[in-house]
Amino acid sequence: MDIKSFNNEENAIRCLCPVCPVYNQCMGKNNELFFCARGKSTCPFEKWGCKCDKCPVARDYNLVGLFYCEKGAGE
């Protein structure tokens, strides 16, 4: 995968993290999202209901993982 072309605004706005139940105020305040490209969250959170398997970005780039907010990018 070409990480440079992958980590762009066009993909960031398609990221489902902001509508995930895990997504919280802290993440919003820090402008965190698109964790599969931009790395893990710095916020505390409870792990459940990850939306990555429904995400159009994941589908386009053949990402099969979940909880990128915990494990970070490239995993």
Q: Which of 5, 8, 23, 75 binds ligand SF4 (CB under 6 A)?
A: 23
**Does position 63 bind ligand SF4 by CB under 6 A?**
yes
Residues 58 and 42: their CA atoms lie apart, in Å, by 22
**Does position 57 bind ligand SF4 by CB under 6 A?**
yes
Min dist. Cβ of residue 46 to ligand SF4 (A): 10
Residue 14's nearest CA partner among 60, 49, 47 is 60
Contacts (Cβ under 8 Å, ≥6 apart) of 10: none
Q: Which of 68, 72, 74, 75 binds ligand SF4 (CB under 6 A)?
A: 68
Which residues contribute to the site for ligand SF4 (CB under 6 A)?
15-17, 20, 22-23, 34-36, 50-52, 55, 57-58, 63, 66-69
